[in-house]
Structures are given as C-alpha cells and as structure tokens.
Structure 1
Amino acid sequence: MAVETLIELSAVDKGFKASDGTSRTVLEQVELRLHDREIVALLGRSGSGKSTLLRIIAGLVAADKGAVNYRGRPVHGPVAGVAMVFQSFALFPWLTVQQNVELGLEAQGVPAAERARKAGEALELIGLSGFGGALPRELSGGMRQRVGIARALVTNPEVLLMDEAFSALDVLTGQTLRDDMLELWDEQRIDTRSILVVSHNIEETVMMADRIVILSSDPGRVRAQLRIDLPRPRNADSEEVRALVAQVYAMMTQPAGAAPLAAPAPAYRLPDADVERMEAVLDLLAVAPFNGKARLAQLAEETELADEAFLPICEALGILGLAHLVDGELRLDRQGQHYVHARQARRQDLFARQCRGRVPVINYILDALHVAADGAVPEAAVLARLEELMDSEEAARVLKVAIEWGRYAELYEYDFHTRQLRLNRE
C-alpha cells in the first residue's frame, strides 16, 4: 500500500539580507517529505536552517524558490492542518493558561463555549487539568511547555512541528515530556498524523524518530537520512540504540562525499568552542579508556556536554590540527599528543603556533596589527571584513571566538573599553 504524503518540499531555497544589505543563502535545494504515521527528526549544526525550514513548512515564512505543498496544495501562509511548538514557549504572560490554549481556536472562529471545552480537554490530555486559571509566570518551565503543546494540539493538527521543544528544559523534565508525547502518539490519543522535530540532541532523536534527516550547513541541504525501525518505547542503554547514536554522530561529522570536519573551515568561519573545554576534551581523550581514540558517542557521554556544545569542540580541534574525525571517532593527532603532555606555558605556545598556521581569521588580525602604525586595530574594522564574507550576526560570533583564541595564545590583546585589538607587548 502506498504511503500517504502530507508535506512535500521540492527544491526549496531561502535567503536573508543582513543589516548591511548583503545576502546569505540559508537553505538551498531542500527536498523533504513527511509521511502519514511518521515521526521525523531534523538534525544539523547551527546555521543549517533547521528552524527556518520549520517556519517555511508552517507557512510563517515564504520560500524564495521551490514548492511547499500540504496534501498536494501549495502553502502560501499558515495552514489549518499544521501547528508548531516553539522552544521559547511563546506564551502571552497576561493571559491565563486556558486563554493561551484557546488562541488558535479563537483565530479559527470557534465559538466561546466550544473553545473552552476543547481547551480543557487538551489541558487534561497533556497533564495540566486544573491549571487553566493560572498565569504562565506561576508555572514551571516544563508546565509552560506543556501549555505550548496543548495550544498546538487543541486545533487537532495533522502535522505537528516541534522546534527544540525540549531543549529549554532540564534533562529530567525534557525526558518526561518527550516520553509523554510519545505515549500520546503511540497510543493514538492525538489526531496528529506526522511530527517533525528539530533537535540538537542526537540521543533524543534516536529515541523518538522513525526517520532522521541531517542537514548540511552554509547553506542547509539534506545530506543524509537514516530510517529507524526499532519499536517504541526504546531503551537508551540498549545496544541497538547506542549503535544508532554512534552511527548518527558519524553521519553528522563526516558526510559522504565531503571533507570531514577536521578540514579547515570555509572562509573565516570558526565553531563556537572555548579553549578550556577543548583542553578538557583533549585531556579526556588522551587517557584510559580512550588512549587517544574514542567513539564520539562515548566521548560525549564522558564529557557530559550537550551535543550543540560538544560537536563544535570536535570541529575546532580538527581545525587546529590537534585531533581529527574519522568514521565517528575522534583521534589525537601528533600535535595533540604533544599538547596534552605539555605544561601550561608550552600549551599556549603550541596553541599559538596552530592558530597561526591554520586559522585564517587570526592571521588576518595579526597582519592588520603588524601594518598598523600604533599596533592597534579597532574591532569594528575586523568585523567589517568578516561581514563581507558572512552575515553580521555570524561575523560577530566568529570574531568573539577569534578574540578568545588569540588572547589565550597571547598573539594579541583586546581592550574591552576601547574595543581595540593590540599586539601583545611581551
């Protein structure tokens, strides 16, 4: 029997203009289908356009090119059969829980009595019976997110979009809410026929999804997909789940047909990775039980870092030539071996040498400082150069990382009052 397609995206492109007028392509030639009775998880590093893609499907943002169809009909705005749950809860603080849940029904013109009945049923379904009269500020984070989910479910959507819906919660609360949602889905106590979940958490996606879709970055494209046939509920400690988690880590860090993350970053881009965490990962990797080589899933578990923090650290170590990624493993390089056995002063020297040899943005800053008459360059001048290569938000983030790395390596100083970079005086 043919599988029914609810959402279909064909050759979807999306770009944005930065404040300086430059354009940035966020999504390019995206092909994606959501089928009946399927939970799909969307993974990708920061900048891959995951949230933008959800907003395009929801009709909140228009694609620049390509087609977006819901049940074969073009999406040109918000669709009655598609609802979205946001990471930030997005509740109106002056409205009660009941009133927040009723909003979608009110927009559809549902009479007041029916709105009240349906909202009450949705709150009971999601475990908030009796809290209808409370204000959002009186609820915990987990309860506020339940309100957001109830508001989405009350309209009986066929397609439910969840944008990092559990990431703002503590681990236990997020896991409980995720398990409750899966129970509602598997027992078919909700009318939703397809769920698309955006997440940074690899284990979470393996526990939830029937299919995982991985996006590349700059711009976002579908680069890999993985179908998961394990029945739910799934045991996070089972061999099958752990093997799948390791497989997804490998897919995330070394896509087929492309250079691994150990390759130098394109243009001047740098991952969000602070030096202290990089050194902690290197030190952990160097000793037993890893002894210089570790599966990413195991190493991430030992570091107790969230995936959105752990993966950029692995990328940064690759850029610096201290470790490299191969088939879902992080392996110490020769320079990394020297680094972990060095004293602090020697570590700084090694870090400086790797930065000079492998980080273009730091070399650009050093060149600018050496030709400056007073050995100083305004932060704004470097930012302007980066904004020629990327949008302003990304440029500011990259410069922040470059300043941190360069200061640690004692290649230059940064004056937080004058916002100037200056050659190290020593």
Structure 2
Amino acid sequence: MTHTVTTGEVLMDLRGVRMSFTGAGGEPLQVLDQVDLQLREGEIVALLGRSGSGKSTILRIIAGLLAPTDGHVDYRGTPLTGSNPGAALVFQSFALMPWLSVQDNVELGLAARGIAPADRHRRALAAIDRIGLDGFETAYPKELSGGMRQRVGFARALVLEPDLLLMDEPFSALDVLTAENLRTELVNLWATTDFPTKCICIVTHNIEEAVLLADRVVVLGANPGHIIAEVGVDQPRPRNRRAPGFAALVDHIYGLLTGRDTEIATATPDSATPFATPLPDASVGGIAGLLELVWGSHGRADLPEVADELNFELDDLLPLVDAAALLGFLTVDSGDVILTNVGARIVNADIQGSKRIFADQARRRAPLVRTICSALIGSAEGSVRADFVLDLLRRGFSDEDARRQLELAIDWGRYGELYDYDTDSGRITVDPAADLSADR
C-alpha cells in the first residue's frame, strides 16, 4: 500500500534538505533531517504529521520563504533562491488585510508583481467569481464568515495562476461543515479543465482530510522532521469515507504514524535521555481517560474509531497514545491500541494504587521524570531548583518547549507523589511519602 505516485513533470525537487534554528541557549535545534521530496504536475500531495514534524517548515522552503540549512531545492530544474515565482500560499489564519475590501485583498499579489490596475481588476473579479464570492467584492473581512474569508485567501492565491498552490492547514480554523464544503469545492476546482494550478501541496494533521484530497500522502515523523513513508491514494474522486478502501488507507496511515519508526516508544532503555525521548504533551487525566476507553473496548481499540468517537484530530489523540505507550500502559499495532497487563492493573486499581503504579512506570520509563528523581537523590537537601532543570532542557529544546517539558514532568511527578513543586520558591522537592532510593 506504500508507494509513490508519479504523474507529470517534476516541479519541485527537494534533496537532502535539513533545517536547523538556533535555540534559546545558542544550541542548534534541528527541525528537518534528510528530507527528499518531489512534487509533480497533475497531483495533490498532502504533508501529514503531528506537531513538530516540520510540515509547515517544508512548505515555507518550497515557497522560498525559508532557505534550508543544508540540501538542494530546485524549481523546474533550477536552484531556488529567494521567493518561488511559481508558488502561492494559502494560510490557516486567512492573513487578510482588514482595512482592504475583498477586491483589494485579492489584487494584492498582482499589485506586488506590477500588473496594471485594469488587468489586475479584471483578473481579481474572475478569481472572486471562480471561488463563489461574486457580489462581495466591496465587503471587508469583518463582514465575512470564516469560510468566506478563507475563500478570499484562495482567490488571492489563485489569481496569481501559480504552478504550485501551497496550503498550510487551510481548513483547521473552520467549523466542520464549512471545512467539508470548502474541501469539496477545492476538489471540484481541481477537476476543471481551465484550473491554472498544476500541483497542490497541502499541510494537514487530519488523516481523513489527507486521504479525501490527496493523490499522495507524505507521512512525516517528528523530532526532527523526516519522511516515514509516501502513500498513494488510487481511489477516484469524489471519495467516500464509508468505502472499505478509504477506511483501510486511514488505518494504514494511523499505523505508520504510531509504528516503530515514529516517536512512540514501546520500551525506554535506561540510557534514554530527556532529549531523545521527550515527554508527550499529555495530562495524567487524559492518559487515564484513554486507558479507560480502551478497557471498555475489551482491551483493544481502533485508533481511527477512537478519534471519530471523541471528535479528536491527530494532534489531540496521538500525544495521549504516545504517553500511554511510553509509560508501558498500552502497545500499538497497525493503528490499534492494546492495553498491557500493567495498563489493565492501573485501570482497575483504586486511587492510591493507581498513583503507585503510575509512579513506578514514570520513574522507570519517562527519562525526564527519572532525571529529576536522580537529581533529588543526589541533593543533600532532597531539593533542586526548577530553573536548573529548565536550563538543562534549553540545551535541546526551544524555550517554550523546555518550559512545557518541565510542566509535564512536574504534573506527572506530583500525581505519582514522587516530588512536589513550590511556585513561590521555585524548587522541586522530594515528596515526603516517596522513597526514591527504593528499587523500582
């Protein structure tokens, strides 16, 4: 099921692309590693992955808004330097100028290219008509619904008649019905013979959206971003979510995102570091809720069905799965989550029992929790400054991510009664009930 769809001429060719940024401590933070990607005429390509997989960074490199740290980026066989002349970008947040009318917003790109006023006026009206906003030319963004504002974003991109239409999660800020309507209209536009764009590349974290729209789904792993697989979608359009082939593709991609090649750890060796295995962004309550749901499904649940039942997106659900797998409460098999023996024990334990089980698993299997426990054991006073831990984390994380890692570690440690945190003093202290020296 995993293969690459080839169609027409190669428009974009990314080879060995790496991207790093400078972190808060001056250390390089690698965002992308060895990305090889081609975009061809006649295809819609979805870049799919969780937060931290570098989807938007890849899109901005293709647009020429970012230059990679290493590697080659070619547009139509020529190295890309600066803004991509054949690409137009549609943003998640609409990015409209509130003081400009619909007509003027759509004309912005044409004006930047020096198109004469009469010509850009004519082309803008045609683009507005194409995306179904005729009659709203003189309206301002504040007068429009979210779906209509995104239509303006589409028109502003399409009026440039780009080879490449780049879309950065264009439907995620919309309600479910509006998003579904715009997806359908995008597919209908793509099917018309006079549609000027030769390739669409869309960033998403919604697996169903990727399978609905794309001819090829590029599945990305995170930390740093890298390509796990490319999955061809051979189903005819319009696509039916209820079709067996559709469901099989969704299951397959869930399996790729939760398989051994991703950041879900089925076992964490003692040598794992907080940088190599960061804590997934999941609360204790969220983990417990997922385990109870799997227990209620007789110990095994289908991830797409769980996501659908909870109305969760990929970025909502997978951190909970990651955390439960990291702690040894469940395993993942081809898109299914399976409760382990220790997972079943914690679901059926009383409150104090569940705390003890959680503490044992977190101290053994969560590297940052283990690191804090080790620091507390080595401290004469059984206490360390939180800023000390934060400074260490900044060596491998951005400032925002370092703070979130520390918050998660404190949350997990508090629940397991391993240690406590005093906001006033800024110190992490051994919980009086904990015996960190015990053999766990």
Q: TM-score range by the shorter chain?
A: over 0.9
Q: Tell me the residue number matched to 2:45.
A: 40
Q: Quote the offset at 1:156 in angstroms.
A: 0.6
Equivalent pair of 2:251/2:334 in contact (CA under 8 Å): no
Residue matched to 2:22: 17
Counting only pairs closer than 5 Å after superposition, residues 25-424 of structure 1 correspond to structure 2 as 25-255=30-260, 261-264=265-268, 267-268=273-274, 269-287=278-296, 290-372=297-379, 374-424=381-431
For residue 355 of structure 1, give the secondary structure of its aligned residue in structure 2: helix
Q: Report Cα offsets for 1:107-160 as digits up to 9, x if no partner.
A: 100111222222222122222222222222232222222221111111011101
How far apart, CA to CA, are the structure 2 residues paired with 1:60 and 1:342? 53
What residue ranges of structure 2 are gaps of 5+ in the alignment? 1-5, 434-440
Distance 1:332 1:385, change over 3 A: same
SS in 2 for 1:422: strand
The CA RMSD measured in Å over matched residues stands at: 2.0
Q: Structure 2 CA distance, aligned partners of 1:233 and 1:276?
A: 40
What letter is aligned with 2:91? F
2 CA distance for matches of 1:225 and 1:240?
17
- Whether the 8 Å contact between 2:264 and 2:326 is mirrored in structure 1 is no
Give, as a single letter, the amino acid of the residue that structure 2 aligns with 1:305: F
Matched AA of 2:266: A
Contact 2:131–2:151, Cα closer than 8 Å, also in 1: yes
- After alignment, is 144-153 or 199-208 more displaced? 144-153
Q: Is the 8 A contact 1:23 1:391 kept in 2?
A: no
- CA gap 1:418/1:181 in 2 versus in 1, 3 angstroms: farther
Distance (Å, rounded) in 2 between the aligned partners of 1:31 and 1:281: 35
In the superposition, relative to structure 1, how do residues 263 and 181 fare at CA in structure 2: closer, same or farther (>3 Å)?
Answer: farther
How far has the Cα of 1:233 moved from its partner?
A: 0.6
Kept after mapping to 1: 8 A contact 2:211/2:250: yes
Determine the C-alpha separation between the residues in 2 that align with 1:178 and 1:2: 22
Answer yes or no: is the 8 Å Cα contact 1:44–1:216 preserved in 2. Answer: yes
Q: Report the 3-state secondary structure (helix = DSSP H, G, I; strand = E; otherwise coil) of the residue aligned with 2:45.
A: strand
1:83-118 CA distance string (max 9 Å, x none): 111112122222222222111101100111222222
Q: Which runs of 5+ in 1 are unaligned?
A: none
Q: Structure 2 length as normaliser, TM-score?
A: 0.91
SS at match of 1:161: strand
Which residue identity is paired with 2:60? Answer: R
Distance 1:264 1:198, change over 3 A: farther
Q: Give the conservation status (yes or no) of the 8 Å contact 1:82–1:160.
A: yes
SS in 1 for 2:396: coil
3-state DSSP class of the match of 1:302? Answer: helix
User: What is residue 3 of structure 2 aligned with on the other side?
Assistant: none
Q: 1:99 to 1:261 in 2, by over 3 A?
A: farther
Query: What are the superposed Cα offsets for residues 387-414 of structure 1, whole Å, 9 maximum, x if unpaired?
Result: 1233333222222221222222222223
Secondary structure of the corresponding residue to residue 88 of structure 1: coil
What SS class does the counterpart of residue 62 from structure 1 fall into?
coil
Q: Secondary structure at the match of 1:247?
A: helix
Is the Cα contact below 8 Å between 1:223 and 1:255 reproduced in 2?
no
Counterpart CA distance in 2 for 1:298 and 1:214 is: 20
Q: Deviations over 1:45-85 (max 9, x none)?
A: 22111111110000000012221111111111112210111
1:232-290 Cα deviation digits (max 9, x unpaired): 1111122111111001100111156x785424396311111122221111111112xx3
CA contact (8 A) 1:273 1:309 kept: no
